[in-house]
């Protein structure tokens, strides 16, 4: 549906606009991840490991907002691909620590580049200052 064909009442509702933008973003992210044989969850997990260091599966999932059943599957994939390693936690032998490997760091950079291109595509109509403002406003909405 073209914007001018959309009822003004809808176009004036931020919730409707956010929903439309989110659908477009998800489509673009899906396409970008497919092009590099990746997943958005892989990016989130590797980004958390990069920023916060080795951690438990549960804590990484909490940080990234990923359900534990999905976390298990994603970590299995990342482990099989050599991007993360599971090692016993020296402070709690009942759990493992998830650590990013050198390969994982390279993969994070590759996924980050693909997602940066999505940002540029999705937000091409906005200046850098407008993008920063949008991010700040959306962060406030989500608080």
Q: What is the CATH number of the domain that holds 48?
A: 1.10.10.10
Residue 124 maps to a domain:
no
Beta strands in 34-121 (DSSP E): 84-89, 92-100
Spatial contact of 77 and 57, defined as CB atoms under 8 Å apart: no
pLDDT for residue 1 is more than 80? no
Going 30 to 25 to 130 to 66, the CA torsion angle's sign is negative
Structure confidence at residue 139 (pLDDT): 94
Q: Place 6 in a pLDDT band, splitting at 50, 70 and 90.
A: confident
pLDDT for residue 3 is more than 70? no
pTM equals 0.86
Beta bridge partners of 97: 87
pLDDT for residue 117 is more than 60? yes
Residue 137 maps to a domain:
no
Say how many domains are in the chain: 1
Structure tokens at 99: 């650590």
Residue 135 maps to a domain:
no
- Name the residue range of residue 101's domain: 38-118
């Amino acid at each position: 549906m073209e914007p001018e064909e959309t009822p003004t009442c809808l176009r004036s509702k931020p919730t409707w606009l956010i929903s439309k933008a989110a659908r477009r973003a998800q489509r673009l992210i899906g396409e970008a991840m497919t092009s590099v044989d990746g997943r958005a969850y892989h990016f989130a997990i590797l980004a958390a490991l990069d920023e916060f260091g080795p951690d438990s599966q549960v804590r990484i999932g909490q940080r990234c907002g990923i359900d534990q059943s999905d976390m298990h599957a994603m970590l299995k994939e990342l482990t099989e691909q050599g991007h993360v390693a599971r090692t016993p936690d020296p402070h709690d032998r009942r759990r493992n620590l998830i650590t990013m490997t050198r390969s994982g760091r390279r993969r994070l950079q590759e996924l980050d580049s693909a997602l940066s291109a999505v940002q540029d595509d999705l937000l091409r109509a906005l200046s850098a200052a407008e993008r920063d403002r949008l991010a700040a406003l959306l962060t406030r909405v989500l608080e």
